[in-house]
Amino acid sequence: MGVAVPQRLRARWLLIREPDRWGLKKALRHFGGRIDLCHYDSDKSCDGRQYGYDLMWKALRPGGVFISDDIQDNLAFRDLIEAVGAPFAVTEYQGKYVGIVRKP
């Protein structure tokens, strides 16, 4: 992701290279604990996703968008949708699935 950020925008961008258990919390602190958009493309294990999804969903403002890559790997995204009861969409490209949900 870092190479995709133009030099002129890097002052407003933060790269945290730590495991999710510490890195996600550090990122949320950096952004004041509230976010408008989350693109989760990190720990692919079911446990890792459940941890990250829960943390990021709680920080997501109403109307915010949550995106997760590779949701075909396990049922964590389905479990999130069932828990929060929000409308969602799934898109596919070359056998990979991305889940998108907007927080009510």
- Three-state SS letters, 37-52: EEEECCCCCHHHHHHH
- Of the candidates 26, 28, 23, the one whose C-alpha atom is nearest the C-alpha of residue 60 is 28
What is the domain-level CATH number for residue 19? Answer: 3.40.50.150
Place of tokens 């890792």: 48
Residue 75 vs residue 11, higher pLDDT: 75
Give the DSSP letter of residue 83: H
Task: Tell me the pLDDT tens digit for each residue of 73-82.
Answer: 999 999 999 9
pLDDT at 1: 62
Structure-block tokens of residue 102: 């907007």
Nearest CA among 88, 95, 47 for reference residue 68:
88
Is the pLDDT confidence value at 65 over 70?
Answer: yes
Give the chain's domain count.
Answer: 1
Domain around 71 = 2-102
